[in-house]
Amino acid sequence: MLKRWLFLICLLAMACRNVDSAADDALTVDEESLVGQTLAEGEDVTLPAVATATMVAPTIVVEPSATPIALVTEPTETAVSNTFPPGSQAAFPLDMGEIISFRFDGNQFVPLLFFAEASQGLDVVLQVYEGDDLSVAPVVEANFNGAGLPELLVFSPEVTGLHRVAVAGLTGSGEAGLLAFAGGERDVIAAGEGKAYGVVSKNGRPVIAFVDPVEQADLVITFSSSGSVVAEANFSGAGSAEAAFVLPRQTTEYRVTISEANGAAAEYDVVIVALE
């Protein structure tokens, strides 16, 4: 009988040790209730129900990180810095391989005249770029004369907007200058006629003529002095602007005649300038 009693006590102890620690406070066997009880041989012992501990995994709530709101930047229209409008002029030192450029606002199909000068020993090229990027190829350039001689360029923009005009040193070094012209005085010629304008050069400085037809006239510029033709321009064709210049050795009187290549009547804007 004693052995059976000890066996029951051991069985009870083993059952208590197998209970998960999480259920220790839920329900335990009252060992004292078994003390003093006499069990008949073959009688079953009913133990109190052992609570089964249920481990509940904690719910982890992760707050979503704030999604950065993309900054929406409205495109800012590039302001056109019209730093070299018609009528402007500039002088500057220039070395071989150097480029001096100026921004200007070009208007579609409105022609401009650029005139670059170079001191003795300096050869320059006159260029126009569409936009503000000088790393691309120029849309037009003038490089017809040698060192120490001017370059003249008539430019009619295909688009309205920002452009750059540049003077680049090809060989040598020295002083360079740049001038811009447009518009002028409105005038007309009758069919079969021309109109002459008198101008006197200032010492050995250049004289420039620039003419822009209002319609599709094919205009011709003729410089003459003392009855002889010294320069003529008719390169651009009907409806396009023409320009020409002369380089006198001294103060010289010129007659600048505007005519129509086919003898038609024409209306035009003309600028004739004797540089200081």
pLDDT value, residue 83: 86
Structurally, the chain folds into a number of domains equal to 2
**Spans in the chain with pLDDT lower than 50:** 1-81
Last residue of a domain, one of 138, 158, 181: 181
Tokens (6 digits) for 200: 């006197």
Pick the last residue of a domain from 162, 181, 200: 181
Partnered with residue 245 across adjacent β-strands are: 208
176 plus 198 within the same structural domain: no
Question: Are residues 102 and 176 both part of a single domain?
Answer: yes
Q: What is the pLDDT of residues 139-172, one digit of tens each?
A: 999 999 999 999 999 999 999 999 999 999 999 9
Q: Which residues pair with 162 in a beta bridge?
A: 105
Question: What's the domain range around 214?
Answer: 186-274
User: Per the domain annotation, does 35 fall within a domain?
Assistant: no
Place of tokens 């409205």: 74
For residue 103, count CB atoms less than 10 angstroms from its CB and return exposed for 0-12, middle for 13-18, buried for 19 or more.
middle
- The predicted pLDDT at position 82 comes to 62
Domain CATH number, residue 220:
2.60.120.380
Same domain, 143 and 115: yes
Is the domain of 161 the same as that of 211? no
233 closest CA partner among 243, 246, 247 = 243
Report yes or no: 115 and 210 within 8 Å, Cβ to Cβ: no
Distance, in Å, from the CA atom of 52 to the CA atom of 26, rounded to the nearest integer, reads: 9
Q: 190 lies in a domain?
A: yes
Residue 122 CA to residue 200 CA, distance in Å, equals 27
Query: Residue 154 domain-assigned?
Result: yes
Is residue 248 situated within a structural domain?
Answer: yes
Q: Are residues 132 and 207 in the same domain?
A: no
Residue 22 located in a structural domain: no
Tell me, yes or no, whether 159 and 101 share the same domain: yes
Last residue of a domain, one of 155, 181, 207: 181
- DSSP class of 133: -
* In-domain check, residue 213: yes
Q: Is residue 153 part of a domain?
A: yes
In the three-class reduction of DSSP (H, G, I as helix; E, B as strand; rest coil), residue 4 is classed as helix
Q: What integer pLDDT is reported at residue 183 of this predicted model?
A: 83
The DSSP 8-state label assigned to residue 2 in this structure reads H
Amino acid identity for residue 201 in this structure: S
The Cα 182–Cα 155 span in angstroms is 10
pLDDT of residue 226: 96
